């Protein structure tokens, strides 16, 4: 689990693909501190497991499904990536809870300055992620915890402060850049309960005001 507060910018140094799997190698510094084999590191918001360490690098396995659903397959040698180690119980929760499980990829539609901020408008496929979004809600963009400023049809806008522009990959992105998107996990569970219930018979038929009243919640 992660918070969406990027710890450092890493650099992709290699991506080796086999017939049905691959290995990505990332150059880093801070996220290597107190990190061991099997630990989780978010790379552009994708939860990966460290399988090997080199001199200032770590490697992780990537599955074909990961490359299909994320922007990791678009990386080239030298590409910058957002890095964050997994959350510890003693850490400050500066962003919001993120799993590192990408729901969809979106494209940067526009970038424009607004005072000391920069407004990014990003496409959001309705079926995969758009239905979970709401104004002022949380969204993970390439592993960065952001707040939705405006919600449009099949897109949303976020306002980035100068610090975020400076210390993350978003500051280098222009229109057409592909980004990984992760919706708020709490919102996804609530949506599932309201629309169709959870597996095992819980909430079958959707959660309604009548059912809440029957349970003594209203």
153-212 residue pLDDT tens: 999 999 999 999 999 999 999 999 999 999 999 888 888 877 765 555 554 556 666 776
Q: What is the DSSP string of 156-180?
A: EEEEE-HHHHHHSGGGG--TT-EEE
CA-to-CA distance for 44 and 39, rounded, in angstroms? 16
User: Residue 93: inside a domain, yes or no?
Assistant: no
H or E element at residue 41: strand 40-43
Q: Is the whole-model pTM more than 0.95?
A: no
Tell me the two tokens of residue 60.
Answer: 């992780």
User: Do 74 and 126 reside in the same domain of the chain?
Assistant: no
Report the distance separating Cα 127 and Cα 146, nearest Å. Answer: 21
- pLDDT for the residue numbered 17: 79
Rounded mean pLDDT, 56-83? 94
Query: pLDDT by residue (tens digit) across 101-139?
Result: 999 999 999 999 999 999 999 999 999 999 999 999 999
Tell whether 132 and 71 lie within a shared domain: no
Return the number of other C-beta atoms located less than 10 Å from residue 177's C-beta: 19
Name the region of 165 (left: φ>0; alpha: ψ -120 to 50; beta: rest).
alpha
List the CATH number of the domain containing 176: 2.40.30.20
Residue 95 falls inside a structural domain: no
- What is the pLDDT, as a whole number, of residue 122? 98
Residue 202 lies in a domain: no
Range of the domain at 81: 8-85
Indicate the SS3 state at residue 140. strand
What is the total count of domains within the chain? Answer: 2
Is residue 209 in some structural domain?
Answer: no
Pair of tokens at residue 6: 């990027």
Identify whether 217 is part of a domain. no
Q: What are phi and psi of 120, to 5 degrees?
A: -110, 125
């Amino acid at each position: 689990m992660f918070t969406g507060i990027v710890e450092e910018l890493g650099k992709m140094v290699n991506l080796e693909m086999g017939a049905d799997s691959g290995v990505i190698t990332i150059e880093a510094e801070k996220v290597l501190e107190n990190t061991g084999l099997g630990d989780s590191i978010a790379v552009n918001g994708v939860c990966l497991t460290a399988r090997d360490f080199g001199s200032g690098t770590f490697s992780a396995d990537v599955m074909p499904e990961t490359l299909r659903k994320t922007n990791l397959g678009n990386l080239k040698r030298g590409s910058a990536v957002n890095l964050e180690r997994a959350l510890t119980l003693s850490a400050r929760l500066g962003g919001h809870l993120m799993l590192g499980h990408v729901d969809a990829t979106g494209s940067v539609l526009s970038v424009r300055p607004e005072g000391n901020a920069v407004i990014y408008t990003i496409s959001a496929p309705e079926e995969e992620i758009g239905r979970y979004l709401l104004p002022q809600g949380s969204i993970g963009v390439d592993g960065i915890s952001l707040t939705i400023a405006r919600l449009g049809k099949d897109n949303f806008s976020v306002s980035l402060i100068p610090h975020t522009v400076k210390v993350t990959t978003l500051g280098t992105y222009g229109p057409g850049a592909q980004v990984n998107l992760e919706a708020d996990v709490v919102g996804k569970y609530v949506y599932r309960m309201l629309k169709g219930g959870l597996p095992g018979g819980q909430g079958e038929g959707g959660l309604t005001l009548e059912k809440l009243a029957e349970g003594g919640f209203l």
